[in-house]
Amino acid sequence: MCGITAFRGTTAAATRARTALERLEYRGYDSAGIAARRPDGTTLHERTVRGVAALAAAVGPAETDATTAAVGHTRWATHGAVTAQNAHPIEDCGGRVFVVHNGIVENAEALRTELRAAGHRFATEVDSEVIAHLIEQALRPGVDLGDALVAARDRLEGSWAVVVLDARSGEIAGTAHASPLICAETGDGVYLASDVGAVVGEVAAFRVLEDDDVVEVGGAGPRWHRHDHSTRPRGLWPVPRTALLGSTGRHDDHMGNEIDEQPAVARRVVDALSPGIADGRLWKGLGLPPLDGVDRVCVVGCGTSLHAGQAIAGVFERLAALPTRALVASEAVHDLWEPRTLVIAISQSGETADVLRALDRLPARRGPVLALTNSTSSSLARRSDAVIDCLAGPEVGVAATKTFVAQVLTGVCVALSGVCASGRADAARFDADLRALVAAPEALRAAVEEWREPSAALAAEFATASGFLFLGRGSGLVYAAEGALKLKELSYRWAEHQPAGELKHGPLALVDAGTPVFVVDNGDPRLDVDIAEVTARGGRIVRIGERVLTVGGSAVHLPRSGPSWGPLDGVVPLQMFARELALRLGRNVDKPRNLAKSVTVS
């Protein structure tokens, strides 16, 4: 998953493409590059492993402003080391064709062998380079850039969003297959880009390329060649509110601000969606069938979004006694979809390839698919039967924080509404859940305030710890999983989550004097025994969510029966601790190594 930008217009093309690229760096930041055509017909070609900002330093505005067509790229490496040589744009043998690519060319080796035999010289280790040479081969006199791109595309297997610059003519052309690409027109030119975030502030609306569409941008605006042979442009989508970039607030990083924003995000979700719960309006408004019409609910997603799905599944299970499954999207290929299944596909970006591939495997006679996403114009949203916006607002940090809270609460509102619409709710449990939902923004606010200093103190205490355990039971387990994921992702330290009851079946051997063990307390009284087992081996327990009362000078742990989706506010200290430890270790918390915000390869 990489970020692609391109601009063709009257002026400053390279400046526009580079500025747009800055907004896509969250898609990958191993290297960045730009290629542009100067008015004298020569080419500007700059690549770096030091990020998009370094591009601006390397090529001054006077030079980039003078260009009229440009392509840019920010890379998340799949094939080939992180070097400037392997960075995109990648050129052909003759320095005429410059290609930027997002995706994976699965038959790259075979094509490379064939192209070498035909005399092409390869300069990089990356799969994408075959595209440049295929276009070069097809771009004979009388063949226009769009046709050459189609000829190259027809040889590819895998996934791609590709934009090519013909430095001789100054034309650009793009195509996509199982990878996102948008087209947006300004008053003075045309952008192609991986997503709408690249052009926010520049345009009010954009068009999305569907699989195998081709867009050519020459002198007179974009020309569409759709896969259905129509030349009509695709429909316009308004630029969503979520595409606007957030600020870092009182912090130096976006993640800190995004953690702080969680109570407000929760308030926004609860205020917007809770009025549609009791009468089932929210559920029915999405066009979803009564729950009596389905045998089970399957949540599908990756990473944090999968955790959100697991929390949401708790509402269907515990409140409506409806069986649920949580499907790791990347494993869906090994799974059978059962009939009469309501699928809830969860992805903040809506572009996660593993999720989209999982949905590709749905049988023809299938239940409805509800997309829960932070991007209602995303590929996932467009492929689903119903879409619910999780209302998180823009999240820049690669580590998902406020989108997790927003996903859980949005999904909970939808699930509660579905249970009401079907008359399946256990009344007492429903009342308790509704109260917890309404109290969630305040509980999150209290957690943000209460844990600010303790999380920093814990980071200082555990700065040299090499491994961490996260435990939970029942509805708390998914938050333990989320805590471990955040810690790994941000601090690069080993962390593992376990159902607390499994400790004695093996993982307890990891516990030694001082081993940090975080326990997410969902009120299950058996946790006391699990904790005692760790303490007896010298482990250092951090209990999240405990309710302690002092009686006669001694502490009494109160049971707390949490809502059906578990102790959501318990995620806050885990996020804060992971961030504090990462900062203490000198990590970049907004851009952890080896990762990207939008994972568009499967």
From the list 142-150, 289-297, 349-357, 580-588, the region that binds ligand M6R by CB under 6 A is 349-357
Residue 5 near ligand M6R by CB under 6 A:
no
Residue 303 near ligand M6R by CB under 6 A:
yes
> Whose Cβ is closer to ligand M6R: residue 167's or residue 302's?
302
Binding mask 386-405 for ligand M6R (x = CB under 6 A): ------------xxx-----
Select the residue interacting with ligand M6R from 64, 175, 324, 348 (CB under 6 A). Answer: 348
> Whose Cβ is closer to ligand M6R: residue 17's or residue 355's?
355
The Cα–Cα gap between 276 and 415 comes to 11
Q: How many CB atoms lie within 10 A of CB 513?
A: 8
First to last CA, the chain: 9
From the list 173-181, 275-283, 299-307, 320-328, the region that binds ligand M6R by CB under 6 A is 299-307
Q: Minimal distance in Å, beta carbon 38 to ligand M6R?
A: 38
Q: Minimal distance in Å, beta carbon 590 to ligand M6R?
A: 11
Which member of 402, 486, 591, 597 is catalytic?
A: 597
- Contacts with ligand M6R by CB under 6 A: the residue count is 16
> Whose Cβ is closer to ligand M6R: residue 353's or residue 386's?
353
Q: How many CB atoms lie within 10 A of CB 211?
A: 12
Q: Minimal distance in Å, beta carbon 358 to ligand M6R?
A: 11
Residue 498 near ligand M6R by CB under 6 A:
no
Residue 489 near ligand M6R by CB under 6 A:
yes
Exposed, middle or buried: residue 237 (CB in 10 Å: 0-12, 13-18, 19+)? middle
Give just the sign of the alpha carbon dihedral 384, 390, 393, 399: negative
CA–centroid distance for 508 within its chain: 33
Select the residue interacting with ligand M6R from 19, 31, 349, 379 (CB under 6 A). Answer: 349
Q: Minimal distance in Å, beta carbon 350 to ligand M6R?
A: 7
Of 261, 301, 252, the C-alpha closest to 482 is 301
Residue 379 near ligand M6R by CB under 6 A:
no
Residue type for position 180: P
Q: Minimal distance in Å, beta carbon 77 to ligand M6R?
A: 16
Q: Is 2 known to be catalytic?
A: yes
Residues 6+ apart with CB under 8 A from 436: 562, 563
Q: Minimal distance in Å, beta carbon 403 to ligand M6R?
A: 7
Residue 305 near ligand M6R by CB under 6 A:
yes
Residues 429-488 that bind ligand M6R (CB under 6 A): 485
Q: Minimal distance in Å, beta carbon 180 to ligand M6R?
A: 12
- 3-state SS of the chain: helix, strand, coil percent to 5? 40, 25, 35
Q: Minimal distance in Å, beta carbon 302 to ligand M6R?
A: 4
Residue 344 near ligand M6R by CB under 6 A:
no
Residue 564 near ligand M6R by CB under 6 A:
no
5, 259, 280, 309, 406 from 272: Cα distances, Å? 35, 21, 14, 20, 12
> Whose Cβ is closer to ligand M6R: residue 489's or residue 580's?
489
Residue 262 near ligand M6R by CB under 6 A:
no
The Cα–Cα gap between 281 and 417 comes to 7
Token pair, residue 139, equals 């771009």
> Whose Cβ is closer to ligand M6R: residue 131's or residue 576's?
576
Select the residue interacting with ligand M6R from 302, 332, 478, 574 (CB under 6 A). Answer: 302
> Whose Cβ is closer to ligand M6R: residue 47's or residue 254's?
254
Token pair, residue 541, equals 């327990």
Are 31 and 94 within 8 A, CB to CB? no
Q: At what angle do helices 262-273 and 427-461 cross, to 10 degrees?
A: 170
The Cα–Cα gap between 125 and 129 comes to 8
The DSSP line for 411-444 is HHHHHHHHHHHTT---HHHHHHHHHHHHHHHHHH
Are 315 and 433 within 8 A, CB to CB? yes
> Whose Cβ is closer to ligand M6R: residue 137's or residue 305's?
305
Binding site for ligand M6R (CB under 6 A): 302-305, 347-349, 352, 355, 398-400, 485, 489, 598-599
**Any idea which residues carry the catalytic annotation?**
2, 597
